Structure 1
Amino acid sequence: MYYLLRGLSVTDLGLSTATLPQLLAHLASGYPAIPAARCLAQLFFFYAFGVTDTLVIAVMALDRYVAICDPLHYALVMNHKVCAHLLALSWVVSILHTMLHVGLVLPLGWVGDAGSHVSLPHFFCDHRPLLRASCSDIHSNELAIFLEGGFLMLGPCALIVLSYARIGATILRLPSAAGRCQAVSTCGSHLTMVCFLYGTIIWVYFQPPSQNSQNKDMVAAVMYTAITPLANPFVYSLRNKDVKGALHRLLRQKSVNS
């Protein structure tokens, strides 16, 4: 589990690094412009880290399934070598997916103003705003999102649903209420992030273009570029007994001082 958490931390850090520093630079300079090459590079890294994040979350569902449904063989099944292979596979799939969609963006054209600046109503170079600002035919891009992107989402979603279906059946067969509560607590943090991350992605990328709006894209982008990477360490750390104990001691100390 902790090996996968380290992989998730790396992808979360990369996801934030791909977007937030450029945003802060724009806010500091008051000149929100970015060269085309840097915009495409930002899109590539954002896509690569973002897709890897969703795949690692799906792999963690498999980890939870083994931990609860087959705890005696957990150390054998989910050893470091297996986790490393799963993380490497997630990166390979993510990079191939990213190369496809960024490659489909490259031939598109945009109409700028007199200074050849293209207005992009977003705080970074995201896929949907770029397609919306293009003056070219984007049917192939939309088709790739719904077909290839949908297929890529279907696999992890199916893995998560099947894993939690088996986990739920196993929890219901546990004889003690304490055991059921402990199992639910083990999966609760992961399930929270699954709903948050996957729900946001489906909300943005897998709706018809007519139902998408700039405000919706902006709100969702803040959620999965800033809030989700920030929330992940807190959500998963609160499962650790040492972290819980330190937090309780800190709260008691503050209450005594007040």
Structure 2
Amino acid sequence: MDTWNKASFGKYFSVEISEETQGKNFTTIDEFILAGLTDVSKIQCLLFVLFLCIYATTVFANLFIIFVVRFSPNLQTPMYFFLANFSFLEICYITSTVPKMLSNFLTTCKTITFYGCVVQMYWFLLLGGAECYMLAAMAYDRYNAICNPLQYTIILSRKVCIQLISGSWLIAAVNALIHTVLTFTLPFCNKKIDHFFCDIPPLLKLSCSDTWFNEIAIFMISGLVIVGSFILTMISYIKIISTIVNMKSTTNRRKALSTCVSHFTVVVIFFGSGIFMYFRPKSSYSMAQDRLIAVMYTIIAPLLNPFIYTFRNANVKIAMKRLMRQMNIAQKY
């Protein structure tokens, strides 16, 4: 029987092979082939232009939010500190998948090396997991701003904000490492990934061995990350809604709602597509459908997020106008 995957993974991790896989032909995997979004060659260039524009717009818009928050005195609060960090996370998140997809639109050899696939999956899972808990931290921020306004800056001090963000990255890093190791120690009989990036479900379909343990790990471990952070977010919003309902002033009620609608919209888009993608039995996977869902939470969501936050946030719009005015004055002199 030939070895599978790369030597380093086989050296440090052992995989138990079931009796039903003993007769199958395992080969060394040096690279994978990415199927991409579509096999229709006539629209490859069109898709390249479309997603290049989306990627450039997403990066520019999120960089602009970071710039505005950094240089606007009126935005030096925990809410905008989280927003700036979330924008940085979004830039990294979309960069983990889109550049490789763009390069594959322009070539007939849509390959990714074994180690390249490992790195892409790890960073994608890391950034996606960090985003889950970052959204939960931002919901906690809104909870304190609305339910504990007098103690808001005390509860969410700079130190606490940094701890929440660091905790998000740490939990996500552990989750990503576990799933990456479990996935790439499987024996693969095929190297064509029916997706546009290296993700867990399409790679499980390439395995010759039983993947029940990996599926259980997705439900159990990822459940703590995705569902756990979603529950924490919903707890914050249940308390927020309860507080808003009990407000006597219509003006205060409307103002409180306006600060939460943007964030809640992002939560629904991200968690909705993510839960649908990862918390289904393997038998129900449809790669054509899953590619469209993946586009939603890996590409469209990062594109919409900066516009959702800026268009519905009066303080950000005021800060943008002020900075633009200052830049125009500086250019004149």
Q: Do both share a fold (TM > 0.5)? A: yes
Which amino acid counterpart does residue 184 of structure 2 have in structure 1? L
- Cα distance in 2 between the residues matched to 1:180 and 1:163: 17
Indicate the residue corresponding to 1:119 in structure 2.
192
Shift of 1:219: 0.9
Does 2:272 match 1:199? yes
Deviation by residue 1:201-239 (Cα, 9 ceiling, x = unmatched): 110100111222102210111011111111111111123
RMSD over aligned Cα, in angstroms?
Answer: 1.5
Query: 1:225-240 maps to which residues of 2 (within 5 A)?
Result: 225-240=298-313
Displaced runs of 4 or more, over 3 A: 242-247
- C-alpha contact 1:204 1:216 (8 A) present in aligned 2: no
Indicate the residue corresponding to 2:212 in structure 1.
139
Indicate the residue corresponding to 1:103 in structure 2.
181
Which amino acid counterpart does residue 223 of structure 1 have in structure 2? M
Q: Share of identical aligned residues, percent?
A: 38
- C-alpha contact 2:172 2:225 (8 A) present in aligned 1: no
Indicate the residue corresponding to 1:253 in structure 2.
none
Which range is displaced more, 76-85 or 56-65? 76-85
Structure 1 runs not aligned, ≥5 long: 113-117, 248-258
Which amino acid counterpart does residue 225 of structure 1 have in structure 2? T
Give the TM-score taking structure 1 as reference length.
Answer: 0.90
Does 2:83 match 1:5? yes
Indicate the residue corresponding to 1:69 in structure 2.
147
Query: 1:12-31 maps to which residues of 2 (within 5 A)?
Result: 12-31=90-109
- Cα distance in 2 between the residues matched to 1:82 and 1:239: 26
Which amino acid counterpart does residue 157 of structure 2 have in structure 1? N
Aligned to 1:175, what secondary structure does the other structure show? Answer: coil
Which range is displaced more, 150-159 or 92-101? 150-159
Which amino acid counterpart does residue 182 of structure 2 have in structure 1? L
Shift of 1:244: 4.5
Deviation by residue 1:89-143 (Cα, 9 ceiling, x = unmatched): 111100000111011012112123xxxxx11111111111111122222111001
Shift of 1:242: 5.5
Indicate the residue corresponding to 1:154 in structure 2.
227
Shift of 1:75: 1.2
- Cα distance in 2 between the residues matched to 1:242 and 1:186: 10
Aligned to 1:4, what secondary structure does the other structure show? Answer: helix
Shift of the 54–41 alpha-carbon distance from structure 1 to 2, 3 Å rule, reads: same
- C-alpha contact 2:218 2:278 (8 A) present in aligned 1: yes
Aligned to 2:232, what secondary structure does the other structure show? Answer: helix
Larger radius of gyration: 2
Give the TM-score taking structure 2 as reference length.
Answer: 0.70
**Structure number with higher helix proportion:** 1
